[in-house]
Structure 1
């Protein structure tokens, strides 16, 4: 998209999986991306991106350490020469298990990474975007923002919160030219969903509900992000855009 050429983005959780597919989508369209990720893999990912001519950098950080987020954000901003046009809050964690067995500390960590870190990074990015009178914040929610899921009490609670936070922030910041929206991915072939693929009964039940009849490829998520990051979405505020093969419409 022409309007993305030369833009600068911060994307969390982009070392692999869906996040890496989103990074590739942005880079292919001329966006310089700083990836925030807790994994050592982020440095290899950035080298691979640079080797094919993309502009990318990395900040390795654990977003569950909430007190460090302002410093982490400032490091990412420095990597982008003090500018951010797009924030993609993609990082998320999940611990699939029955609610009765989930330790409260694990529940809280999921909320911290999946919700509180998004809140703080969004506020920090908004402060920079407001100076220019424009910006795009895209939160990666989930079909479990709407559905309850199974053995996913903390994850579904966190993703429901992401959908509502998106609406609230859009209500406050749209007047300043900052669009806040969310994408709700369905079930994709990523490591995060490996436990589903290893359960034939669970996989079959999901595929039976997906009108497309298959799980998504990570690259298929990028189009929604490109739209919500571009000038074509300047009048789009507070939406939850499903990219799920029709799962939520079933």
Structure 2
């Protein structure tokens, strides 16, 4: 896997050490927000508190939809605009828990994210921008390898894919 991402610049928003390590090991240079252009944008959603549907208030509902869907869309939209401006494609990867893992509010956001991933994957393909998602609760090394593959040129024809990964932690 070494060198898959050589010459690429990646921005990772959120915390997933296995993904960060695998993307760096594949040769990408990590850049922080505001440190210039990047070829790869990975968004890792934070886990929310698990509550039963009847215990979720409106403000919690909106906050979790904002974190799990709205911020992701707006971040991807900004990244895609940067790609178009410089005339090069790129790769977007959303990572988060599967729909059934964290409660109704998260399920709504994750379900919508699946549809968003498919829609953006088709719509932005003509611009060379790939959009994929991994829905998982694992943080194992295998997750990092899958993430590095999906943002690499080896996955140049993979877009709009929503992959579920179920590994024992």
Per the TM superposition, whether the score is higher than 0.5 is yes
SS of 1:236 mapped into structure 2: coil
CA radius of gyration, larger in: 1
Tell me: higher relative CO, structure 1 or 2? Use CA pairs within 8 A at least 6 residues apart. Answer: 2
Question: How far apart, CA to CA, are the structure 2 residues paired with 1:141 and 1:29?
Answer: 22
Question: How far apart, CA to CA, are the structure 2 residues paired with 1:91 and 1:241?
Answer: 15
1:152 to 103, 107, 124: 103
Instruction: Point out where structure 2 has 5 or more consecutive residues left out of the alignment.
Output: none
Tell me the TM-score normalized by structure 1.
Answer: 0.62
Q: How do residues 59-74 of structure 1 correspond to structure 2 at under 5 angstroms?
A: none
1:132: which partner in 2? 87
Whether 2:18 is the aligned partner of 1:21: answer yes
1:6: which partner in 2? 7
1:226 to 148, 154, 160: 148
SS of 1:182 mapped into structure 2: strand
Question: How far apart, CA to CA, are the structure 2 residues paired with 1:92 and 1:161?
Answer: 16
CA contact (8 A) 1:227 1:233 kept: yes
Tell me the TM-score normalized by structure 2.
Answer: 0.90
Deviation at 1:120, TM superposition (A): 0.5
Question: How far apart, CA to CA, are the structure 1 residues paired with 2:118 and 2:77?
Answer: 14
Deviation at 1:89, TM superposition (A): 1.2
Question: How far apart, CA to CA, are the structure 2 residues paired with 1:6 and 1:91?
Answer: 26
CA contact (8 A) 1:92 1:110 kept: no
2:162: which partner in 1? 240
Question: How far apart, CA to CA, are the structure 1 residues paired with 2:46 and 2:89?
Answer: 26
What RMSD over aligned residues (CA atoms) do the two structures have, in Å?
1.8
Question: How far apart, CA to CA, are the structure 1 residues paired with 2:142 and 2:106?
Answer: 23
Query: How many equivalent pairs are there?
Result: 166
Question: How far apart, CA to CA, are the structure 2 residues paired with 1:92 and 1:85?
Answer: 23
2:68: which partner in 1? 114
Deviation at 1:21, TM superposition (A): 1.7
CA contact (8 A) 1:115 1:162 kept: yes
